[in-house]
Structure 1
Amino acid sequence: MYRSGIVMAWNVFRFCTALRGLGSIMILLVLGIVGLTYYAVVVSNYGPALYDGGLTSLTAIAVLILFHILVVMLLWSYFTVVFTDPGSVPPNWRPVLDEERGDTIPLTGSEFSDMPADPTNSRIRYCRKCNQLKPPRCHHCSVCGRCVLKMDHHCVWVVNCVGAFNYKYFLLFLFYTLLETSLVTLSLLPHFIAFFRDEEIAETPGMVASTFLAFVLNLAFALSVLGFLIMHASLVAANTTTIEAYEKKTTPKWRYDLGRKRNFEQVFGMNKRYWLIPAYSEEDLRRMPALQGLEYPSKPDLDAQEF
């Protein structure tokens, strides 16, 4: 039984490694869904409605303006996640010592047998696959084949790992995806209902098909992203990642939980003007070590505990 479990785990990691091959396919799929939605909303329905006059034209203007804003923000956030490195361990990284806090306690255990003779911190872990020390909140990604700073998970949709440097961008991608898919679902709902009522529709079969498909896809994504976003909102509120949410089940108190406001700032920064865009202010990058992915503030009373 134990041996079969090992084989199964090994096969799973082989499958994870194969996910690297998806690459541009997933990006093209996302762009294809956005393109289909754009055609259904702008070309098939609300673009022509601009010439109807009256309340219909005003409604079309409002929908089109809001739709374009959300699409721009969605794609901006998406490609920022895709092309931003989540954070890797710097070469020859070593922890900052604090003798007053007792950070010079030797490491013990066979897993550290290959480390130097003067280990530095009882909380520091060692990655056998990368043969290097692992900073706090760092985990090894089997898909990327490396250790990722504050790793949350490997996301197939963004063809990248979600970690310290792009977690905010990933959350904004989810946020704008939820807003955009909800807007599309509500704006196409009347046309979707008209289709089933066999009402006279002044559209080509291709336009009708695109409207039907766009409505179904956006409704499905809105519902799924809503649940995913709620889960990540709870993680941000507790200052944990998806991986750490499982780890802290065995820890009575989570040392990185600084309160909801400070936990939120650890991800989105302190400058409110940057909260809703996939970027950080230079000031936040300078004064917040957590945004560099190597050091994280923790509760003073739990500072000496192992997470």
Structure 2
Amino acid sequence: MNPGIIPRNESIPQELEQQMDLRGVPRHRFLKISEITIKQFCATCNIFRPPRSKHCSFCDNCILRFDHHCTWLGNCVGLYNYRYFVVLIYSSTIFLMQCLYVTVCHFGQEADDTFGPDYGFLDVLWVLSEDTSTVFFFLYCLFLMFAVLLLAVYHTVISLQNLTTNEHVKNYYREGQNPFDYGGLKNCQQIYCFPENLVCRSMIQHDPTC
């Protein structure tokens, strides 16, 4: 789905024609967010990006509250689809856990049918050797489960801090300097219930020095 694509201008708006530099590009506007200076104008889309937006080189669009470009989905994750992405990785984790549980139960049932209720460890090994395809399926699900579980934990942690993947990886804010952090509960409420609301502290200001 649409991650929050900002509509682009086909050409530079007329009101900016008086603000061109020597290259014929509008002079940039800069925002200072917690001592980090961010360039707003996107020369590709011919727009001034809102805070937390970024131009994705894969999708060739500016994305609101850009999180990351997901190669699994072939789509950006941003303002409008981040909560659905988190639901996807949580549900995938639960599904893979269920697959592992059912596979273990299957092996136990096979051992019980073959050797009776008093089967031992060697009996289980014999069952595994006779059903190698299911063993490979179990190992495959185990690998995926750990990968998706780590992803789910990671996004839980950055959601509690109201950070995007892009902001966290690039270490945008120093400790205690995130202007969008209002505590774990309010952060999750804003991200998952009211994502369109841009709530921030007074750490965002115009930077006239650039």
Common topology (TM > 0.5): yes
User: How far 1:120 sits from its partner (Å)?
Assistant: 7.2
1:237 aligned residue (149, 160, 173): 160
Q: Which has the higher helix share?
A: 1
Q: Please report how far the alpha carbon of residue 230 of structure 1 lies from its aligned counterpart in structure 2 after TM superposition.
A: 0.9
Alignment of 1:19-58 (within 5 A): none
Q: Is the Cα–Cα contact under 8 Å of residues 64 and 78 in structure 2 kept in the other structure? A: yes
Tell me, in whole angstroms, the C-alpha distance in 1 between the residues paired with 2:128 and 2:72: 38
Residue correspondence of structure 1 range 162-181 to structure 2 within 5 A? 162-181=77-96
SS of 1:169's equivalent in the other structure is helix
TM-score by length of 2: 0.71
In the TM superposition, residue 223 of structure 1 has moved relative to its aligned partner by 0.6
**Residue 296 of structure 1: aligned partner:** 198
1:237 & 1:89 partners in 2: Cα distance? 26
Query: Structure 1: 5+ residue runs without aligned partners?
Result: 1-83, 93-109, 270-287
RMSD: 3.2
Q: Which whole-Å deviations, capped at 9, do the CAs of 1:69-103 have from their partners, x for residues lacking one?
A: xxxxxxxxxxxxxxx110111346xxxxxxxxxxx
SS state at 1:85 partner? coil
Shift, 1:196, TM fit: 5.4
1:205-220 counterparts in 2 under 5 A?
208=131, 210-220=133-143
CA contact (8 A) 1:89 1:135 kept: no
Residue of 107, 125, 132 corresponding to 1:197? 125
Unaligned stretches of 5+ in structure 2? 10-20, 33-38, 112-122
Q: How does 1:61-76 map to 2 (within 5 A)?
A: none
TM-score between both structures, scaled by the size of structure 1: 0.50
Whether 1:115 and 2:16 are equivalent positions in the alignment is: no
Letter in 2 for 1:265: Q
**Counterpart amino acid of 2:144?**
F
Separation in structure 2 between the aligned mates of residue 111 and residue 265 of structure 1, nearest angstrom: 46
CA shift, 1:303, in A, is 4.4
Report the alpha carbon displacement of residue 139 of structure 1 after superposing the two structures with TM.
0.7
Distance 2:69 2:165 in 1: 10
Change (3 A) 1:192 1:199: closer
**d(CA) in 1 for partners of 2:175 and 2:23?**
22
Alignment-derived partner of residue 227 in structure 1: 150
* Residue number in structure 1 paired with 2:2: 85
Aligned residues: 177
C-alpha separation in 2, matches of 1:152 and 1:175: 17
Q: Aligned residue for 1:61?
A: none
The AA in structure 2 aligned to 1:90 is P
Higher relative contact order (CA 8 A, sep 6+): 2
Kindly provide the amino acid, as one letter, of the partner of residue 191 in structure 2: V
Q: 1:235 to 1:112 in 2, by over 3 A?
A: farther
Task: Determine whether 1:263 maps to 2:180.
Answer: no
Query: Given residue 152 of structure 2, which amino acid in structure 1 is its aligned partner?
Result: L
Secondary structure of 1:220's match?
A: helix
8 Å CA contact retained: 1:112, 1:126? no
Structure 1 runs (4+) deviating above 3 angstroms are 110-113, 119-124, 190-196, 249-252, 303-306
The structure that is strand-richer by fraction is 2
Cα distance in structure 2, aligned partners of 1:200 and 1:169: 38
Percent identity between the two aligned chains: 27
* AA in 2 matched with 1:87: G
CA contact (8 A) 2:6 2:62 kept: yes
Judged with a 3 Å threshold, the aligned counterparts in structure 2 of structure 1 residues 249 and 190 are, in CA distance, closer, same or farther, namely: same
Q: Which amino acid aligns with 1:168?
A: R
